[in-house]
Amino acid sequence: DDIVEMKISNDPTFADAPTWDPFGQDVPWTIAAGPGELARVYVRFKDDHGNESVGTEVGVITYAPYASYMPVIMRDR
């Protein structure tokens, strides 16, 4: 309830997230992975008293933007 800011990063050091952003749900994010690769997204939180989260939340995502299916055709001889 008291989370007011967050940092989201593809880097565990948060080098690409120098500032805090307002907290929100369903924040659009670009992951750093290609098709079929495993990506990690790191998030830190800050509450309304300025306390930062003790640990970093980590989400693991397998990037699968599309799938290809080949039809299987069987003939009876």
For residue range 26-36, list pLDDT tens digits in order.
Answer: 888 888 877 77
- How far apart are alpha carbons 15 and 9 in whole angstroms? 8
28 contacts: CB under 8 Å, gap ≥ 6: none
* 6 and 46 Cβ atoms separated by less than 8 Å: yes
Dump pLDDT digits (tens) for 20-64: 999 988 888 888 877 777 888 888 899 999 998 887 777 766 666
